[in-house]
Chains A and B, each alone.
Chain A
């Protein structure tokens, strides 16, 4: 194994661990805010992969950064919409537990 690959493996492992932590939070937590936390962790893990592989391959760093910026903008939109829905849910239910919002399924 090349010495250079060790850092790529390190960053990829970090990305994988963060993604798995996000999945754990998404499945196990019922608090809407913690679900938003989990989604943000998973988005960061995905963005990290773009930069890690671009830095390793060397040729497409600008494209990776542009992809990262697009992901961050989408995450900002998701956080804004999600948090406003959480505030509204809190106003209606006085709590932010996802089980109480099941009736939205119709």
Chain B
């Protein structure tokens, strides 16, 4: 069901809370390994939101690529690199919070544009075959470019870390 009626969906609230708390812990945890695990939990929460909103294909891709690949890659990098020996200065937090407030303010201004959206109209669940055909028909060149980018990134990463 896409955007089911109801004042505020408890499932969305739960997933949103999980994602936000995980994101905060990912940045503020004392040990970075816990931060990496928390980041993976955030990826899971976002994936669940995708699935809940009807984006089945994207939810599964998020689960496979983000949780399965990027999350594990980050975890491996964290385990290899370990904890930083240089402490984070407290003044940076104040600067970061100020920058975040400025961005939040500008986003809130844009948020008022939500009232100008047209009324929602619902369609059934999109078939995977339709997405696949559009992906190959309309976005074929993009897929080839992405494949080339990923291959060159993998090659470049190997070249950087080879020595």
Interface residues of A (CB under 8 A from B): 2-14, 16-31, 33-34, 36-38, 40-41, 44, 47-48, 51-52, 54-59, 61-66, 68-70, 72-77, 79-81, 83-88, 90, 95-97, 99-100
Closest chain A residue, CB of each to CB of B150:
A77
Interface centre among A36, A65, A88 (most CB of B within 10 A): A65
A-B pairs, top 8 by smallest CB distance, nearest first, are A28-B96, A84-B157, A24-B100, A27-B96, A14-B16, A77-B153, A25-B27, A65-B58
Q: Smallest Cβ distance from B43 to chain A, in angstroms?
A: 7
Give chain A's interface secondary structure class. Answer: helix
The reply to whether B123 and A59 contact each other, CB–CB distance below 8 Å, is yes
CA distance A72 to B66 in the complex (A): 8
Interface residues of B (CB under 8 A from A): 2-9, 12-13, 16, 19-20, 23-24, 26-27, 32, 35-36, 39, 42-43, 46, 49-50, 53-55, 57-58, 61-62, 65-66, 69-70, 73-74, 77-78, 80-81, 84-86, 88-89, 92-93, 95-97, 99-100, 103-104, 107-108, 111, 114, 117-123, 126, 130-131, 134-135, 139, 142, 146, 149-150, 153-154, 156-158, 160-161
> CB < 8 Å: which of A51, A79, A96 contacts B58?
A51
> CB < 8 Å: which of B24, B49, B111, B117 contacts A57?
B117
The reply to whether B53 and A52 contact each other, CB–CB distance below 8 Å, is yes
Contact of A29 with B27 at beta-carbon distance under 8 Å, contacts A2-B119, A62-B131 already known: yes
Closest chain A residue, CB of each to CB of B91:
A28
Contact of A69 with B58 at beta-carbon distance under 8 Å, contacts A34-B32, A80-B73 already known: yes
CA distance A98 to B116 in the complex (A): 42
Q: Smallest Cβ distance from B109 to chain A, in angstroms?
A: 11
The reply to whether B55 and A66 contact each other, CB–CB distance below 8 Å, is no
Q: How many A-B residue pairs have CB under 8 A?
A: 256
Closest chain B residue, CB of each to CB of A83:
B77
The reply to whether A95 and B50 contact each other, CB–CB distance below 8 Å, is no
Closest chain A residue, CB of each to CB of B93:
A28
The reply to whether A33 and B78 contact each other, CB–CB distance below 8 Å, is yes
The reply to whether A97 and B32 contact each other, CB–CB distance below 8 Å, is no
The reply to whether A55 and B54 contact each other, CB–CB distance below 8 Å, is yes
The reply to whether A79 and B73 contact each other, CB–CB distance below 8 Å, is yes
